[in-house]
Every structure is written in structure tokens, then in C-alpha cells.
């Protein structure tokens, strides 16, 4: 997300005045219906203005998330979806205050509840389940633009309380976090932090750090890299600090990650944050045994802002929505409606029937045999949305 000038108009010299007038009229219309479009059915208005129509699977509305949350983190513990922090909206469209709020969705009851607030309002941070805890590392702290931090926060889902973990080696935001498990290695589990942005918000990083764990009781968590675990599992940190690992082949932030068969995948992302960000299609796979990276099949189109909408199911990686800075003539960063699936065995991406509306910076997870998508925004952040979409798992 780029502050102060996001969603820049991209127009040619010919007909600039006419195009600008039309876009301003559309923006005024969007502002008038802003509250209404928080429900999925009315989000179609914004979608038709931004992205071409796409065939999509049948979706039904779930209970809306209690507050708009842009760029939140997300994890699933004991079948419930936890949505952490992000930006909330105000009456002034271009203000983006950060929140400490944690919303919890029960897919069976279709209800939302609150968990203990985060220790600090953080955005541009990913969540990973480690035993019965949810870990979050780095991020921008405070209202936009915020400041990059090295803080690591641990949420205890059993006791509904927070504590601190070993800090990252340096302040960074917009990187990705994953738990890699390899039975052939000792220790066999480690958190990996990849990429992100430096405190100046535009220097893009290729950093890669790992924090090892040991079992205290129970079996492995997040075995499929889907940020899902049981709250009865417990793991302890094997060391007190993060250790360097082979850096990303290409520096990037706003990337996603997933783990399949002991391999860590770094997916998409963007170069630079505030100034002319460029989205990327690159996908690289990391082998923890050899500490090496290998390029694999790229995304069909460059994209970013899908970190909390990436998950693993049955050995395949799912990417739901996101954004591409070149998808719209008028608005930079329009939300994407497609759902992409990567098969590591075939090294191939396929596209599934998509969302009813393009959404960036959303949350997507498989829950109770359904795909649940919530939070995020469409129309280049102009229209944040509270709708919860519930669809069939492909």
C-alpha cells in the first residue's frame, strides 16, 4: 500500500481532461455508496468499474467482519479464523489508521467474536501458527505510513494473551513468514522470514532469517504450510536469535509464502513500496537441507497484496485475489478476482473460477469444507469492504 498518492490516475496526453472528469465522477459515486458497498452483493458495482467481468463460482454471503481491516494478518487455530490488525477506515477516505483489533470467525456458527488486542497496531505483517501460538514478525507499526519494526509478537490461543518472541535482526516490514518442517533435519522445524522493505519504505530487501524450534509436546503444527493447527500443541524456541540463510534470488516485499513437502515457496511480491511499486510474477522454491533456491513456474501475471489470501490444500498452493499495478487504465492497484492454484509436482499454475469481485489485501482460508474470503479492499483501496464470501472448495 502506497501512502499519499496511492491509486494514481494513469492517463495519456490525448483526452486527459475528459478521462479525468469521468474518473472523478466515478470516485464521487463510489464515495456516496461507500458504506453500502461493504456487503458482497453491492461490491459488484465497484468490480464492474475496475476489472473485466469474470465467470465465478457460486458464492454465498457470510456474516460481515465487524470492522474494515485492510492488509491484516490471518491464521486458523482449532477451526476458527483469526484476523489480526491492519488498517481501518475513517470518514476521510485517505486516512488509514492502524488497529490492534483481533477478530475471530467461527464458520460453523457464522459468527464473529473478539480476541485479546495486539500489543501494538501493526500492518504489513504475516501470521504463522507454531504449536498453540500464532507468531507475527516485523511490520509497519502505527498509522500509515508507520515505521518498520523488528518486533516479534506471539499470541497464545489457549489463554488469549500475548507475549514477545526473539526480535528480527533488523526492522523490516512487508516480508513473509513461514514454518518449515523437515523430519530429516535437526532441529526439524524453523520459522523463516523472507524479504520485505527497509525503514525508508522503498529499499526492497532479499533478507532470509530462520528461527529454530524444538518440540515440547505433541506433533508438528502447520504441517501443510496453511497456518492451521490445534491449540493443544506446544513448541519451544531452540535458540534465542534468528540466523541468516540464503537470501531470496530477487529482493521483494508484499510477497506470499507457502510450504509443500518440506519446500518453502516465495511467491510474487513487489519492488519498492511508496514510489512507483512494480509487481512481480517470480516464484522461487527453497530447500532447507541444502540452503539453496530454485526458480519454478512464475505466476501467470505479476501480483502482490495476497499474503493473507495464500494457503495450501492437498499439496497445492492457492492464491486468492491480490493486486497488479497494471490491471487498470485509471486506478493503480485494482483488486484481482482470480483464484490461482499451483501444483508443485507438475510445476504448473491453473486458474479456477474466481471471486465475484476483485479484492486485494484480503484474507482467504479453507474452513469447514468451504472457502472463506473476507476483509481487504477493491477499487485500488478506495472501497474497503467488510463482506465475507463463502464458496465451494475447488
Q: Is residue 242 part of a domain?
A: yes
pLDDT average, residue stretch 158-162: 97
The pLDDT of residue 335: 87
* pLDDT greater at residue 89 or residue 320: 320
Please give the angle made by the CA atoms of 294, 295 and 297, to the nearest 5 degrees: 135
Bridge partners (DSSP) of residue 375 are none
- pLDDT at 289 > cutoff 70: yes
Over residues 114-131, the mean pLDDT reads 96
Is pLDDT at 276 greater than 80 in this prediction?
A: yes
193 contacts 209 by C-beta, under 8 angstroms: yes
In a domain, 3, yes or no: no
* pLDDT value of residue 62: 96
How many domains, in total, are found in the chain? 1
List pLDDT tens digits, range 67-87: 888 899 999 999 999 999 999
Cis peptide before 180 (omega within 30 of 0): no
In this model, does residue 378 exceed pLDDT 70? Answer: yes
Convert the pLDDT of each residue in 308-325 to its tens digit. 999 999 999 999 999 998
C-alpha cell at 9: 490516475
With beta carbons less than 8 A apart as the criterion, state whether 365 and 320 touch: no
Tell whether the model's pLDDT for residue 353 goes beyond 70: yes
Residues near 266 by Cβ (< 8 Å), separated by ≥ 6? 176, 194, 195, 248, 252, 255, 256, 257, 282, 283, 284, 285, 286, 293
| CB 233, CB 216: distance < 8 Å | no
- Higher-pLDDT residue of 242 and 42 is 242
> Tens digit of pLDDT for each residue in 214-224?
755 444 333 33
Q: Is the pLDDT assigned to residue 3 strictly greater than 50?
A: no
d(CA 260, CA 313): 9
Residue 48 within any structural domain of the chain: yes
13 DSSP 8-state letter: S
Q: How confident is the model at residue 381 (pLDDT cuts 50, 70, 90)?
A: low
Q: What is the DSSP string of 105-126?
A: EETTTTEEEE-PPPSS-EES--
Any idea how long the chain is? Answer: 394
Least confident segment among 226-230, 294-298, 299-303, 311-315 = 226-230
pLDDT confidence bin for 95, thresholds 50/70/90: confident
Euclidean distance between CA atoms 155 and 169, whole angstroms: 21
- Closest to 322 measured CA to CA, from 279, 258, 367, 372: 279
Distance, in Å, from the CA atom of 82 to the CA atom of 64, rounded to the nearest integer, reads 14
3 state SS of 35: coil
65 pLDDT more than 60: yes
Percentage of residues in the chain having pLDDT higher than 70: 74
- Per-residue pLDDT, averaged over 146-168, amounts to 97
Grid coordinates of 132: 498453540
Per-residue pLDDT, 187: 65
Does residue 43 or residue 327 have the better pLDDT?
327
Residue-level pLDDT at 144: 85
100 or 330, greater pLDDT? 100
Q: Each residue of 172-201: pLDDT tens digit?
A: 999 999 999 876 666 678 999 999 999 999
Contact 214, 238 (CB under 8 A): yes
H helix intervals, the chain? 16-32, 40-50
Beta-bridged to residue 149, according to DSSP, are 172
| 243 φψ region: left (φ > 0), alpha (ψ -120 to 50), beta (else) | beta
Provide the pLDDT for residue 11: 33
CA distance 191 to 355: 31
pLDDT at 48: 34
Per-residue pLDDT, 92: 55
pLDDT at 58: 81
Helix (H, G, I), strand (E, B) or coil at 59: strand
pLDDT, residue 325, reads 80
Q: Work out the pLDDT band at 16, boundaries 50, 70, 90.
A: very low
In a domain, 293, yes or no: yes
> What is the SS3 string spanning 251-294?
CCECCEEEEECCEEEEECCEECCCCCCEEECCEEEEECCCCEEE
In-domain check, residue 93? yes
Phi and psi at residue 305, to the nearest 5°: 60, 40
Give the domain CATH number at 376.
2.120.10.80
All three cell numbers of 131: 504449536
Structural domain includes residue 221: yes
User: Could you list the residue range(s) of the whole structural domain that residue 142 is in?
Assistant: 16-392
pLDDT class for 236, splitting at 50, 70, 90? low
For residue 275, being part of any structural domain is answered with yes
Cβ proximity of 71 and 89 under 8 Å: no
* SS3 sequence of 63-99: CCCCCCCECCEEEEECCEEEEECCECCCCCCCCCCEC
Per-residue pLDDT, 300: 96
Q: Which of 126-135, 222-231, 304-313 has the lowest mean pLDDT?
A: 222-231
Give, to the nearest 10 degrees, the angle between helix 40-50 and helix 16-32. Answer: 180
Query: What was the pLDDT predicted at 357?
Result: 87
Q: Is the pLDDT assigned to residue 14 strictly greater than 90?
A: no
Is 4 exposed, middle or buried (CB count within 10 Å of its CB: 0-12, 13-18, 19+)?
exposed
The answer as to whether 337 is a domain residue is yes
Amino acid at each position: 500500500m502506497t501512502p499519499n498518492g496511492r491509486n494514481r490516475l494513469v492517463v495519456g496526453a490525448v483526452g486527459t481532461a475528459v478521462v479525468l472528469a469521468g474518473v472523478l465522477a466515478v470516485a464521487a459515486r463510489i464515495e456516496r455508496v461507500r458504506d453500502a458497498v461493504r456487503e458482497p452483493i453491492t461490491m459488484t458495482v465497484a468490480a464492474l468499474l475496475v476489472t473485466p467481468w469474470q465467470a465465478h463460482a457460486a458464492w454465498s454471503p457470510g456474516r460481515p467482519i465487524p470492522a474494515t481491516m485492510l492488509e491484516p494478518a490471518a491464521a486458523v487455530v482449532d477451526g476458527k479464523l483469526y484476523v489480526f490488525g491492519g488498517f481501518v477506515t475513517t470518514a476521510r477516505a485517505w486516512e488509514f489508521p492502524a488497529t490492534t483489533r483481533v477478530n475471530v470467525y467461527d464458520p460453523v456458527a457464522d459468527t464473529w467474536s473478539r480476541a485479546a488486542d495486539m500489543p501494538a497496531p501493526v500492518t504489513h505483517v504475516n501470521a504463522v501458527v507454531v504449536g498453540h501460538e500464532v507468531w507475527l514478525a516485523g511490520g509497519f507499526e502505527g498509522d500509515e505510513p508507520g515505521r518498520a519494526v523488528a518486533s516479534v509478537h506471539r499470541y497464545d490461543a489457549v489463554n488469549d494473551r500475548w507475549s514477545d518472541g526473539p526480535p528480527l535482526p533488523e526492522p523490516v516490514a512487508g516480508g513473509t513468514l513461514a514454518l518449515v518442517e523437515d523430519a530429516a533435519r535437526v532441529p526439524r522445524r524453523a520459522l523463516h522470514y523472507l524479504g520485505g522493505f527497509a525503514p525508508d519504505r522503498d529499499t526492497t530487501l532479499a533478507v532470509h532469517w530462520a528461527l529454530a524450534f524444538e518440540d515440547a509436546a505433541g506433533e508438528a503444527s502447520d504441517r501443510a504450510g496453511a497456518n492451521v493447527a490445534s491449540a493443544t500443541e506446544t513448541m519451544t524456541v531452540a535458540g534465542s536469535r534468528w540466523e541468516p540463510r540464503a537470501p531470496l534470488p530477487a529482493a521483494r516485499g508484499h510477497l506470499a509464502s507457502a510450504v509443500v513437502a518440506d519446500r518453502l515457496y516465495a511467491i510474487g511480491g513487489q519492488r519498492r513500496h511508496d514510489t512507483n511499486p512494480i509487481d512481480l510474477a517470480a516464484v522461487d522454491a527453497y530447500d532447507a537441507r541444502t540452503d539453496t533456491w530454485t526458480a519454478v513456474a512464475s505466476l501467470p501475471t505479476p501480483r502482490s497484496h495476497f499474503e493473507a489470501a495464500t494457503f495450501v490444500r492437498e499439496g497445492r498452493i492457492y492464491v486468492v485475489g491480490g493486486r497488479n499495478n497494471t490491471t487498470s487504465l485509471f486506478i493503480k492497484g485494482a483488486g484481482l478476482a482470480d483464484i490461482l492454484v499451483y501444483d508443485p509436482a507438475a510445476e504448473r499454475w491453473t486458474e479456477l473460477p474466481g471471486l465475484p469481485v476483485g479484492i486485494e489485501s484480503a484474507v482467504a482460508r479453507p474452513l469447514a469444507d468451504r472457502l472463506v474470503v473476507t476483509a481487504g479492499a477493491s477499487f485500488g483501496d478506495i472501497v474497503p469492504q467488510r463482506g465475507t464470501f463463502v464458496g465451494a472448495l475447488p
